[in-house]
C-alpha cells in the first residue's frame, strides 16, 4: 500500500488511505474509509423522494468543496 494521507475535514467525504495493487490482476485499488451507509448512489436512489433539493444541493456543495 502506498499511503498518501489524503484527508478531508468534511463528514460527507470519505477519507482516502492510499493506493494498492491487486496481486492477481495488477489493477490498482483505492483504499477508502468504510462507508457504513453504503454508496452515495445507493443512498440517492433509495431515498430519492425523501431527500429535499436543499439537501441534495448541500451534498453537492460539500463534495465539490472536498
pLDDT in tens, 29-51: 988 888 877 777 787 788 888 88
| Three cell numbers written together for 54 | 436543499
Handedness of CA 16, 17, 19, 25 (dihedral sign): negative
Would the pTM of this model clear 0.75, i.e. be above it? no
Question: What is the H or E stretch that residue 44 is in?
Answer: helix 40-46
First to last CA, the chain: 23
Amino acid at each position: 500500500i502506498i499511503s498518501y494521507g489524503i484527508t478531508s475535514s468534511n463528514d460527507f467525504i470519505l477519507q482516502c488511505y492510499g493506493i494498492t495493487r491487486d496481486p492477481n490482476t495488477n489493477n490498482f485499488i483505492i483504499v477508502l474509509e468504510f462507508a457504513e451507509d453504503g454508496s452515495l448512489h445507493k443512498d440517492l436512489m433509495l431515498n430519492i423522494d425523501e431527500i429535499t433539493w436543499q439537501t441534495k444541493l448541500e451534498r453537492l456543495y460539500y463534495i465539490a468543496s472536498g
